[in-house]
Amino acid sequence: MLNTLKDILNQYPILAPAIFIVIRASAIILPPIPGIIIDLIGIVVFPWFLGFMYGEIGVVLGAMRFVFTFIIPSLVVGALPIEIIRDISIDKLILCAFLALIWLIVSFKIFKWGVKKYESSNFMTFGG
């Protein structure tokens, strides 16, 4: 992996910073990719200061993608019910109850469909 990444970065010198930043950002999002090895590759391929800068840009972009993908939507979903209940009226309560009932019916249907497709293979019936 080390030599392959160095070869790719050396083969495309104009796109090398962008490729390196994308790879470093993916190391933030995908934990099995070791970030320190990618940083060392950046320091070897680029001048040490540019390798460090490109690595940090990738870290910031990866972290921002994590924030915009997971943190902000969870805050919006958490705050949305508060905004609905803040100006409470009977119409909104009926609408919320109706939507909750629809989601309950849909979840039961999905659960029943999943149970019908499920085949158990416990130790007592294994192989026979």
Q: Is residue 126 part of a domain?
A: no
Examine the domain organization and report whether 22 and 61 are in the same domain.
yes
Task: Quote the distance between the C-alpha of residue 10 and its chain's center.
Answer: 30
- Per-residue pLDDT at 128 exceeds 60: no
Q: Is residue 33 part of a domain?
A: yes
The domain in which residue 110 lies consists of 88-118
Q: Is residue 124 part of a domain?
A: no
User: pLDDT tens, 34-76?
Assistant: 778 888 888 888 888 888 898 888 888 888 888 888 777 777 6
Q: What is the largest CA-CA distance in the chain?
A: 66
The rounded distance, in Å, linking the Cα atoms of 93 and 101 is 12
Examine the domain organization and report whether 9 and 44 are in the same domain.
yes
- Averaged pLDDT for residues 84-113: 83
Examine the domain organization and report whether 111 and 52 are in the same domain.
no
Q: Is residue 110 part of a domain?
A: yes
Examine the domain organization and report whether 99 and 78 are in the same domain.
no
The rounded distance, in Å, linking the Cα atoms of 23 and 17 is 10
Q: Which residue in this structure is represented by tokens 């009226």?
A: 89
User: pLDDT tens, 6-38?
Assistant: 788 788 888 888 888 888 888 877 777 777 888
CA 85 → CA 46, 48, 81, 96, distances in Å?
A: 55, 55, 6, 10
Examine the domain organization and report whether 51 and 61 are in the same domain.
yes
